[in-house]
Amino acid sequence: MKLRHDPRTAVLIALILTMALVAMDTTILATAVPQVVGDLGGFDQVGWVFSIYLLAQTVTIPIYGKLTDLYGRKPILVIGVAVFLLGSALSAGAWNMVSLIAFRAVQGIGAGAIGSTVQTVAGDLYTVAERGRIQGYLASVWGISAVIAPALGGLFAQYLSWRWIFLVNIPIGVFALYLILRDLHDDVERRPHRIDYLGSMLVLIAAGALILGLLQGGTTWSWGSPASIAVFTVAVVAGVALLFAERRAAEPILPSWLWRRRHTAASMAATATAGMMVIGLSVYLPNWGQVVLGLSPVAAGFVLAAMSITWPLASGISARIYLRIGFRNTALLGGVTAVAAAAGFTLLGPDAPVWQPVACTAVMGAGMGWLFSPLIVGLQNTVGWGQRGTITGGLMFSRFLGQSLGAAGFGAVANTVLRHQHDQPDAVAMHAATHAVFVGLLVAGAVSVLLLLFVPRRFPVHTPTPDEPAT
């Protein structure tokens, strides 16, 4: 019996594989740092290996989102995967820390195209009722990667070479490219476009300076230093210039309707604050489990893994909920659930049994699944094919920007508490610092719920036109 070929399934496999590449390379190097430094030197620069990847990925997302609307999803996704694989091959051949940082930037530029376009293609291929399940699949990629990537990186570094961390991307990426080239098809009207070069440059400068300041403030330089003031000044000036430039652009990268429409602006803001919660929990919970509860690194990682189980499950069933009560109310349910989880974290004591943080993490994952999925699907449903990439890119950009804000904000809070607890045992000081971060999670969750209350109860539904492109 000959099996019927299903292009949608093949493309979905390709989307999952490409998303996995991006997600894995966010943290896979974490456990291989000693081996990397042993080969390349430059321990004082190793933080940039991670920061430059996040920076390049985040600032390019909205640009790629717009380009997918202008030229189609397929060419941008193909270019993104190809650039990512080029960066992977170059990173594997790095000869010093500076070259590795530069090649990780190339990886990040490719990752920006993948992160934005994957979600847009999913919105093209699947109906509103199906997208909850698809969002569950894509969310599971990030959850699983957060757990297994550091372990996989350690295994490569210990038994093969840290360079295999990058080389393993190539066969996976090539197979994904094959599926994309074979089965993903765009029906795009080919016409001249006026690319918003000025807007693109200002997006890169404004977002890049802001994220750079957040990543380096309080670590490389103090918050009140001339370097910090200069970087944030550049971000503000470029941001103001961007607002004026986009009003005059024929085809703006970040059109003003993203901020004028209440359902769009409030959803993006809520996504940013929810992103702060995700990064705060991901960074500080495993360390708290090891230092305060005395868990092994593997056990502490499995505490966080509870979120990677409930998040995709909640995303998968979100369609049943938002088809009954609406996108906004489903996101509100997720926000309230996340707040309940954050409140639970603030009640954890230094001698808490391990099941308590596991339960709180599982509840947090469910909240995030119910919050993120309906906002992505709901916003995509408000626009046509020609704006879906822009709105998806804007939402993804908000999420990553929120994670950068969270990393900086929670890092400043934790470091401040640790300085005041310098005469206390490590476990006592770490519990105090992490408790302050947990309180920050609760505040961020409350702000997310407040922002979601500004989202209209019903999202406007776009009516397709006969000449609208189809995937």
Domains recognised in the chain with CATH numbers = 7-184 (1.20.1250.20), 197-254 (no CATH), 259-462 (1.20.1250.20)
Query: What is residue 189's predicted lDDT score, i.e. its pLDDT?
Result: 65
What is the percent of the chain with per-residue pLDDT over 70, rounded to a whole number?
A: 93
pLDDT tier at 97, thresholds 50, 70, 90: confident
- Tell me the average pLDDT across 89-115: 91
As a whole number of angstroms, the distance between CA 325 and CA 317 comes to 13
Tell me how long the chain is. 471
Q: Are 203 and 63 in contact (CB under 8 A)?
A: yes
Three-class SS of 342-389: HHHHHCCCCCCCCHHHHHHHHHHHHHHHHHHHHHHHHHHCCCCHHHHH
Residue 352 sits at φ, ψ, to 5 deg, of: -65, 140
Instruction: Tell me which residue has tokens 């993903």.
Output: 184
Report the percentage of the chain scoring pLDDT > 90.
25
Q: Is a pLDDT exceeding 80 seen at residue 283?
A: no
pLDDT given at position 77: 93
What is the number of other CB atoms lying within 10 angstroms of the CB of residue 96? Answer: 13
d(CA 437, CA 281): 8
Average pLDDT, the chain: 84
Q: How far apart are the first and last CA of the chain?
A: 29
Count of beta carbons in the 10 Å neighbourhood of residue 192 = 5
Kindly state the average pLDDT of the residues 220-230. 82
Residue of 383, 404, 386, 139 whose CA lies nearest to 263:
383
For the segment 338-359, what is each residue's pLDDT rounded down to a tens digit?
999 999 999 998 888 999 999 9
Separation between Cα atoms, residue 328 and residue 120, nearest integer Å: 20
Residue 250 has pLDDT above 80, yes or no: no
Tracing tokens 């944030």 back to the chain, one arrives at 232
Mean pLDDT of 309-333: 89
Q: How far is CA 198 from CA 170, 191, 271, 407, 413, in A?
A: 34, 21, 27, 29, 37
Compute the distance between CA of residue 353 and CA of residue 349 in angstroms, rounded to an integer.
9
Mean pLDDT of 56-78: 87
